[in-house]
Amino acid sequence: MPKTTESLAEFYKQKFNGIEERPVMKVGHFDVFRIEDWIHAGSVTPTYIRRDFYKIMLFEGDNVFHYGDKSIEVSGKTLLFFNPRVPYTSDPLRPQTKGYFCVFKDDLFQDSLRLGLYHLPVFSAGAQPVFSLNDEIYLIVKTAFEKMISEINSEYIYKHELIKNYVSELIYTAMKLQPLDKLFQHPDASSRIAAVFTELLERQFPIINTTHRFELRSPNVIAERLSVHVNYLNRAIKKTTGRTTTDLIAERLITEAKALLRHTNWNIAEISHVLGFEDQAQFNNFFKKNTGLNPSSFRQV
């Protein structure tokens, strides 16, 4: 059975011929690369898989990135964000492709982010991970990456703080490019409950192996976990999103089911089990009702 998550140690083994990690920082993990060097080193196209680390990429060229259950075509100068919750890969990189990418874990910001990276808009559930850059923003982003490369191998005692600032600059530069509604602050209790509901739902993923089971399949279970009455939860979700709690749970289950059907060789019984269904027949009915196809047919498309 194939793995569904790649660790940072496995990433380094692929890049550095068996070395499990390149210890370049004293506090928190961070590393940065030029895409050209990665291509010339003979790295293969990455498997469609989740990673247990974050990645930010400045990509120059044309390609297709497969992110979650979507495929995103990019052209020109593009800034991309990847997080541990969403599997991703790309079409093979062309020899003339240029750019940079950095990898890091939460511990890089352990002393400065109160809520964690996944609360930032570019890394949150449903975030838009791709930004087309004009020449002015491109220069800002490229300069930040070049500064990272300059500092990463230096002996400067405060290079950790400098590099953390450069990563923050990339994140907050991207957030400025987003529509204002991406930065919308919750005005009332209903909005806050809806946001917590979404966070709790997303926290159940990724499903990394066949012993991991999604448990929050009903509004009642989620309401109990949030310590609110189910009727209050349902009203808050309806007021904020215009949709029912059950619909949102089903939509998230369908998204995960599609990803597992497309990108693992788990059998359908295993997929139905990890998604919390009582049996394969129940999963088959649910999937067909929401997609118009049964799971076997979808897998063959």
With tokens 């004009």, the residue in question is 134
Give CA angle at 293 (289, 299), nearest 5°.
130
Res 126: pLDDT = 64
Question: Is residue 115's pLDDT more than 60?
Answer: no
When pLDDT is averaged across residues 8-35 and rounded to a whole number, the result is 67
Question: Above pLDDT 70, what percent of the chain?
Answer: 81
Of 146, 39, 138, the C-alpha closest to 102 is 146
70-91 in b/e burial notation, b at 16+ Cβ within 10 A?
eebebeebbbbbbbbbbbbebe
When pLDDT is averaged across residues 185-198 and rounded to a whole number, the result is 72
Higher pLDDT, 249 or 111: 249
Question: The whole model's pTM is what?
Answer: 0.59
Tell me the CA end-to-end span of the chain in Å, nearest whole number.
21
Rounded Cα distance, 182 and 47, in Å: 30
When pLDDT is averaged across residues 208-235 and rounded to a whole number, the result is 86
The token duo for 152 is 């990463």
Question: What is the rounded average pLDDT for all residues in the chain?
Answer: 81
When pLDDT is averaged across residues 18-34 and rounded to a whole number, the result is 66
Res 193: pLDDT = 81
Question: Is residue 64's pLDDT more than 80?
Answer: yes
Question: Is residue 300's pLDDT more than 60?
Answer: yes
C-alpha distances in angstroms, 181 versus 117, 130, 143, 175?
19, 16, 28, 11
Domains in the chain (CATH in brackets) are: 5-183 (2.60.120.280), 189-300 (1.10.10.60)
Higher pLDDT, 288 or 118: 288
Res 85: pLDDT = 78
Question: Is residue 88's pLDDT more than 70?
Answer: yes
pLDDT tens track for 120-156: 878 876 666 889 899 999 999 999 999 999 998 888 8
Of 189-193, 232-236, 264-268, least confident by mean pLDDT is: 189-193
Res 213: pLDDT = 86
Residue 183's pLDDT band (boundaries 50, 70, 90)? very low
Rounded Cα distance, 201 and 218, in Å: 11
